[in-house]
Structure 1
Amino acid sequence: MVKALVFFAVALVSVVVLMGSASAGFFDFFKKDVRQGPVDVGVTVESVAPTIVFVSNVAGDVLNIHGTVSPRGGGGTTVTRVSFIAEDLNGAGDLNDASAGMRYRGPGGTALAGTCGVAPTCSGCAVTQKNYSCNADMEYYYEPGTWTVNASIKDNSANLAVDTKRTFQYLLYREISHAGNVNWAGISLVDSNQLSDSNPFLLTNLGNAALSVSVTGYGLNGTGANPEDQIPASNFSASGNTGGDPLAECDVPAQAVALSQGVPVTVPGVSVPRGLPGNNQDNMYFCIYPSLSSLNLNPGQGYSTSATGNQWAITIV
């Protein structure tokens, strides 16, 4: 019985020692240091939106005065130019050149777009900057006043920069053209209300403001055997209205005005609008409104202003 107990005790000690030895070795395996291994490191750079740091004054090819643009006479087109400098802190190469834009907006809401490209030089620019040169055409009929310049650019991530601080003045310009001569063919010396063969007399506005007009008339002298004979200017009338009963262009003073020797008189009913070609016109109508029977004119000759050299004048009021 004693032997059995001793054996058991020894066996128990042996087991404990073995387990302790095995346990120490097992945990020591997991306590070993890892001395090396590959690690990937990445940094994402956030795109910085571009900015517009400078916009030049606008100049046109008529006056060539920076900040002031004049319409071109004769119904022409004025070419304007403006430049701007854009900056991108990611580098100038991040600026999207094709996106560079320039737009103008007038006081009445008229908007137009120009074309832009990279300028050949950028004096004093940093490596993060580019200079863009732009042109835009302005028509003669665009409204006068203060226009706003809108410069814009995107980067290659489609971030947008816009500058609208620059403005310029588009000048008021007034010009009118007309159809030519005023004629009557085969008039009667006794009839009244004789309409001109030149009716309607077309007026065209080549400026950028609505126009009223005046006519300065002169008497028509004989061109034949009796050059001293004259149809006085006061026998002629003008109006922007026509037709009706009585005839509007002959209805002095209700709807028409009688001309006055060497004195400009404003023609009622005429307002020539500014606008696109075809939308910038109005008509004027002429009449010999009284009978000429009391003038004792030679019926066998013509009458003209060329005999005295005093041509009628149509002027802007």
Structure 2
Amino acid sequence: MEQGLPSPAWLFEADRAAGLVGLGLLWLRRRWPVQAAVAAVAASAFAETIAFPMLVLMFTVVVHRRARTIVLLYAEAMAATVVYAFVRPDELGVGGGLAFAVVLYGAVAGWGLFVRYRLQLKARAAQQERAEREGARRRARDELARELHDLLGHRLSLLSLHAGAMEYRPDAPAGELAAAAGVVREQSHLAMRDLREVIAVLRAPIGELPQPTMADLRALVEEARPGSRIDLVEEVEGEAPERSGRTAYRIVQEALTNARRHAAGAPVRVAVSGGPGEGLSVEVENGPGRASGPGTGHGLVGIEERTALAGGRLRYGPTEAGGWLVQAWLPWTT
């Protein structure tokens, strides 16, 4: 027998065949990593040439499989090491062979766990990024929904108010009916204009949607006055910050819409006051009246969200006289 060759002689041929099989098992490591690793570890009980494919397959199992599977595979590998020490004894002996196997397999397990941890970090980062993108889309949809509600709810409530007046007062003087019909026609035209503006910027960033300011508040009240009794009191020192002014406008707009919808014909008082150092206060109060249409409650939820995002406070509820009061405070910040 040539020096260095295993005994009996057939073991040498089996060792070479096992090495070739091990190379073939590497092609299966992605589809059947556990089965391939188990076969390679079993062959390592008598073959040296399968060592490299076996380590690669064990590394794959550590990276991609559960702890229980890894432990069972390593138990098999240690058992195969003991069998190898008896089938092909060398100067290391059983104890030395086990010590060498523990160091070698431990290094493979450590590197595999490190790679596994890095892959998990990447997966979590990708998941977080997807969640952030979805959150951004959801916030954009919510913002667009609020814009649609604010833009069209105001117009449609005016339409409902004046159309209802024409329905309930068919015997009204021709001049009043003509005036109400004119308001309906004008508000229909404005509603279509607002809708076209929103659709035109639907693909644009939310920040590019038409945004009102405090300077538009008086125009908003004047637009709502036909058929309503609205008193506006403005005591604002200087120019209100853009964000707080826009939020105040939306609060007043929603409060007027709700007043027309739930208390048609009732008097409404709008008061806006404040300045640097004290913030911006908004108060809209309407008296009792008849309901002219159903409500969804989405508008109040929307202005609550707007106020919170602006860093302010909002409260609303019925008054002792049977009306409704909306009060808000907004910081004097941009």
Q: Same fold (TM over 0.5)?
A: no
**Which protein shows a greater Rg?**
1
Q: TM-score, structure 1 length as denominator? A: 0.21
Q: TM-score, structure 2 length as denominator? A: 0.20
Which has a greater percent of helix? 2
Which has a greater percent of strand? 1
Q: Which has the higher contact order (CA 8 A, sep 6+)?
A: 1
